[in-house]
Structure 1
Amino acid sequence: MNKTIIVIFLLMGLSTTYAQNWQTDFSKAKEIAIQEDKPIILVFQGSDWCIPCMKLNKEVWSTNTFKEYAKEHYVMLQADFPRKKKNTLSEEQQEANAKLFETYNKKGFFPLVVILDKEGKVLGETGYKKTTPVSYIDEINAFIK
């Protein structure tokens, strides 16, 4: 019994060690970016309906390679637009995401990855590509001067 509890706690610790620290508040993301001198990676996604968004999450965002790198080099900001009722965001979050959408995703692409400087100026954009996490990091970094 005690061994089981220890194993569970160890596994919980491992899963949180690599947890992606996604921000959902643009102001807070900018504050962190300024404080830590990092660019912001703004991701527009439809987490429960957009197949390329789900693939990007599985193939890049959720990998340990990307998570470890991002933790040290980026502020990750998520603007999610789920469609299923069970995944509905708070009204406040929906409004915040809509404002980001109006400003940074005028063409309505999903997924859209917008690379911003710490002040919120657009440095570049990309989307889903069938690639490795390292290649995706390289692509993001190509926009960052």
Structure 2
Amino acid sequence: MKKYVMLFLFFIGCFAMQAQELNWHTDVKEAVDLSAKEHKPIMLFFTGSDWCGWCIRLQNEVLKTPEFAKWAQENVILVELDFPRRTAQSPEIRNQNNQLQQVFGIQGFPTVFFANVETTDGKINFKGLGRTGYVAGGPQPWLDSANTILKNK
């Protein structure tokens, strides 16, 4: 009987983990379309995933937590704009990320930029709401900071 209970709990845990899994978009145009459809702002995460210590720390302490997953599903469309040094990237993604780094004036990593998006005549216009980076103390202080920014919606 214990085996069945353990097996049942294992499967429930697997389904719960899948429900917490977030969809990080790497194609901004796809995220813009989803943002318009769901009427949610975009959260652009500028990161150096394979070399930036603070980026990795933000991922582990905040962005991979259940608290963040719940908050993100309710509030934003997630976009990861990665600038890796050792991981291969397609030229299209690399060019897109470099252009957005220029547009938003990103000079350091990690930077998280929140924006509303409007499309006019096929052109994408970002209305910046604010930015943040690493916030010490785990998910709740970071989420408090993000919620303060999103009040400007």
TM-score bucket (shorter structure)? 0.7 to 0.9
Deviations 1:28-79 (A, max 9, x none): 1111111111111101000010000000000110000100110111101110
Instruction: After TM superposition, give the deviation of residue 114 of structure 1 in Å.
Output: 0.5
User: Normalized per residue, which structure has more strand?
Assistant: 2
Match of 1:110 in 2: 109
Q: Which amino acid aligns with 1:93?
A: I
- Percent identity reads 33
Instruction: After TM superposition, give the deviation of residue 9 of structure 1 in Å.
Output: 5.7
* Count of residue correspondences: 141
Q: Note if contact 2:136-2:142 (Cα within 8 Å) is conserved in structure 1.
A: no
What is the aligned counterpart of 2:71 among 66, 69, 72?
69
Larger of the two Rg values belongs to structure: 2
TM-score (norm 2): 0.82
Between the aligned partners of 1:72 and 1:129, the Cα distance in structure 2 is 21
Match of 1:25 in 2: 27
Between the aligned partners of 2:106 and 2:20, the Cα distance in structure 1 is 33
RMSD: 2.1
Between the aligned partners of 1:7 and 1:132, the Cα distance in structure 2 is 28
Instruction: After TM superposition, give the deviation of residue 15 of structure 1 in Å.
Output: 2.9
**Structure having greater relative contact order (Cα 8 Å, sep ≥ 6):** 1
Q: Note if contact 1:47-1:80 (Cα within 8 Å) is conserved in structure 2.
A: yes
TM-score (norm 1): 0.86
What is the aligned counterpart of 2:132 among 121, 126, 139?
126
Match of 2:143 in 1: 137
Gaps of 5+ in 2: 119-125
Q: Which amino acid aligns with 2:52?
A: C
Q: Which amino acid aligns with 1:100?
A: L
Between the aligned partners of 1:81 and 1:125, the Cα distance in structure 2 is 18
